[in-house]
Amino acid sequence: MVLVLGDSLSAGHGLGQGQSWVALLERRLAARGLPHRVVNASVSGLTTAEGRARLPDLLARHRPAVLVLALGGNDGLRGLPLRAMEANLRAMVEQARAAGARVLLAGVRLPPNYGPFYTRAFERVFRKVADETGAVLLPSLLAGVEEDRSLFQADGLHPTAAAQPRILDNVWPLLQPLLEATARPTA
């Protein structure tokens, strides 16, 4: 089972039923005959602190083989302390690994109006957590999307339905080996 814990980018904010990249992931898994089901525990507005509070129950309830952790954007947009974000992400990766899940950590980039110091430091948090915990890192969930403003809803923050296949294509090359590793029998 794949558990996706994210914010509005994974919850499908502003999209119709079945249009989010997570819904497309479910369809891709089924089309390829892969046995994994997907639980989308993403909530619009979720911060890393809130995700950290929710994760133990989600791990106990769903027992995922893979956790896609796609949080941090709301921390950055709110200008929350990066040390707290880092500690929350690290704790969630460690909790998931202790529960037997492999972890894909999906980073995001902030709009430039937060200033170069904060935005660079924000992006480094994801790399640091991945390096120190062994999580697989996707540096930017929205790579290839964030450069094309026509792929965003009127709010300028949330991708359109047309962008969702590209987001899934960003996730898939890193997720697929994790799925394959969980499907292999262990010795």
57 is catalytic: no
d(CA 134, CA 144): 25
How is residue 138 written in tokens?
A: 């996707």
The domain defined by 2-182 carries CATH number 3.40.50.1110: yes
The pLDDT tens digits of the residues spanning 118-151 come to 999 999 999 999 999 999 999 999 999 999 999 9
Q: Which of 44, 62, 140, 158 is catalytic?
A: 158
pLDDT score recorded for residue 111: 84
155 belongs to the catalytic site: yes
Q: In what order do the strands lie in the sheet with 136-138?
A: 38-40, 2-6, 66-70, 102-106, 136-138
Residue 158 tokens, joined: 């949330």
Alpha helices in 63-163 (DSSP H): 73-77, 82-98, 116-133
Catalytic (active site) residue 131: no
Does the predicted model carry a pTM greater than 0.75?
Answer: yes
pLDDT tier for residue 186 given thresholds of 50, 70 and 90: very low
**What integer best gives the mean pLDDT of the chain?**
95
pLDDT tens, 149-175? 999 999 999 999 999 999 999 999 999
Give tens-digit pLDDT for 87-127: 999 999 999 999 999 999 999 999 888 889 999 999 999 99
Render pLDDT for 26-74 as a digit per residue (tens, 0 to 9). Answer: 999 999 999 999 999 999 999 999 999 999 999 999 999 999 999 999 9
- DSSP annotation of 185: P
Tell me how far apart the alpha carbons of residues 76 and 158 are, in angstroms, rounded to a whole number.
15
CA distances from 161 to 17, 150, 169 (A): 10, 11, 14
User: Looking at 8, 10, 20, 42, which residue is catalytic?
Assistant: 8
